[in-house]
Amino acid sequence: MKVPFLDLKLQYEEAKEEIDKGISDVLESQQFILGKKVEQLEKRIADYCGCRYAVGVSSCSDALLVSLLSLNLKEGDEVITTPFTFVSTASAIIHAGLKPVFVDIDESYNIDVERVEDVISTKTRVIIPVHLFGQCASMMEISQLKEKYHLRVIEDSAQAIGAEYPLNGKVKKTCSMGDAGCLSFYPTKNLGGFGNGGMVLTDDAEIYEKIKMLRSHGYDGKCYKVLGWNFRLDALQASVLLAKINFLDKWNRIRRENARYYENLFYDSGLLEKEVVKLPLTLYRGKVENYHTYHQFVIRVKERDALRRFLYERGIETAVYYPFPLHLQPCFSSLGYSKGDFPVAEQICQEVLALAIYPGLKREMQDYIVEQIKNFYNR
Ligand SMILES: Cc1ncc(COP(=O)(O)O)c(C=O)c1O
């Protein structure tokens, strides 16, 4: 059996009518950059996330960059984040003239909030929690640190649109818990366009106005008030996303059902008792579950690379997010970190394996994947 890691054609087929209509509207209007479609998308996603303002931008990497630039920080100010994330969470910090300070992760794959306070210094200005793989970081503790040390919080929600977290008695969506939240519409994301795209969400009018200027070369309607750049979102992307967002909650629900199905297969497989496979953690605050949207379903396994090859030879595609933590990537060597600095992230990088989880994945494919994993450990 062939099991692709992701099959975007299935999503396209389901939303095709609305997508094609949206694209055709844009072609008729010949308005390709920003404009009505982008404004509609901004309003739709602001409402969806429970935020006052949204600014469509060219990618999540740019969303992170403009969010940092909007905060009027000084060169060399410090931004705390995780080393177990996509590269641009940290490179955006450096591009903004700031200094990333890493904190190790915990078993949930997200930043270990118990360790954040240890690295807060007089230069710390921002925390960027990453809601990795579709599950919120521990925002209650992060919000408490924000209050205590008067910090700013920018949520990197590239992988987590639709995820929820119980904060101060309310269920909050990602992007609504800090000063700004950043989304990615990269095609493989739970809400993906047909190219690059991103968005910043905020309740702060000052941040909103500043980011709107930064996105269009710093133009305020009269003059180039600040130094900006071209961070604009295309109308074609917005039209695709406006069509697809109608399916987002359904697709996220299916991802969660697929995750539960895998969990049951693994519970019955004997692999957990043998301690060769560990499931991703489902986090609770009290009795309320973090609403995980499973952008990725990432297990931890022994002999990861050999297992991956074994599965590939049997038609099963998998992925590794991430093979190396950021503090060991050459582009961050000037930060002065070395091997051993973040042992949990380093260990987890050697064990993680992402299994197919997309809506449209068939039960018999999941059965086959877990069966083959069993065969590997019984060989
Ligand atoms: C956690 C995280 N942050 C930021 C990004 C950057 O998103 P984009 O590709 O839209 O620039 C990604 C993309 O994969 C991501 O996973």
Average pLDDT value for residue range 300-316:
98
Using the Cα atoms of residue 360, residue 365, residue 366 and residue 367 in order, give the sign of their dihedral: positive
Average pLDDT value for residue range 161-173:
94
Percent of the chain scored above 90 by pLDDT?
97
Quickly count: other Cβ atoms within 10 Å of residue 259's Cβ.
Answer: 20
Q: Is 58 helix (H, G, I), strand (E, B) or coil?
A: coil
The pLDDT assigned to 10 comes to 93
How many Å lie between the centroid of ligand 1 and the Cα of residue 158? 5
The pLDDT assigned to 284 comes to 80
The pLDDT assigned to 375 comes to 98
Report whether 316 contacts 370 (CB < 8 A).
Answer: no
Entry pTM: 0.98
Report whether 198 contacts 57 (CB < 8 A).
Answer: yes
* Total number of residues shown for the chain: 379
Q: What is the pLDDT of residues 315-369, one digit of tens each?
A: 999 999 999 999 999 999 999 999 999 999 999 999 999 999 999 999 999 999 9
The pLDDT assigned to 285 comes to 72
**Nearest to 233, CA basis, from 225, 221, 224, 242:** 242
CATH of domain 8-246: 3.40.640.10
Could you tell me which residues come within 8 angstroms of residue 184 by beta carbon, excluding any fewer than 6 positions away?
59, 60, 63, 158, 159, 197, 198
Radius of gyration of the chain (CA): 21
Average pLDDT value for residue range 107-131:
98
Domain locations along the chain? 8-246, 247-377
Whether the upstream peptide bond of residue 322 has omega within 30° of 0, thus cis, is yes
- Judge whether 8-246 and 247-377 match in fold: no
Q: Which amino acid, residue 106?
A: D
- Which residue of 68, 91, 109, 186 sits with most ligand 1 atoms within 8 Å of its CB, as the best mutation to test the pocket? 186
Per-residue pLDDT band at 371 (split at 50, 70, 90): very high
The pLDDT assigned to 355 comes to 98
How many whole angstroms separate alpha carbon 95 and alpha carbon 207?
18
How many Å lie between the centroid of ligand 1 and the Cα of residue 184? 6
How many whole angstroms separate alpha carbon 45 and alpha carbon 177?
15
- CB burial class (10 A; 0-12, 13-18, 19+) of residue 10? middle
**Nearest to 125, CA basis, from 177, 83, 90, 73:** 73
CATH of domain 247-377: 3.90.1150.10
- Record the tokens describing residue 335, joined without a space: 């930060």
Per-residue pLDDT band at 205 (split at 50, 70, 90): very high
Pocket-forming residues, ligand 1, beta carbon under 6 Å = 59-61, 85-86, 88-89, 130, 156, 158-159, 184, 186, 196, 198
How many whole angstroms separate alpha carbon 95 and alpha carbon 74?
13
Quickly count: other Cβ atoms within 10 Å of residue 69's Cβ.
Answer: 22
How many Å lie between the centroid of ligand 1 and the Cα of residue 22? 25
How many whole angstroms separate alpha carbon 95 and alpha carbon 295?
27
Average pLDDT value for residue range 226-255:
98
Nearest 5°: phi and psi at 247? -105, -5
Q: Is 56 helix (H, G, I), strand (E, B) or coil?
A: strand
The pLDDT assigned to 288 comes to 74
Average pLDDT value for residue range 209-238:
97
- Record the tokens describing residue 181, joined without a space: 């939240």
The pLDDT assigned to 283 comes to 84
Which residues are bridge partners to 152 per DSSP?
126
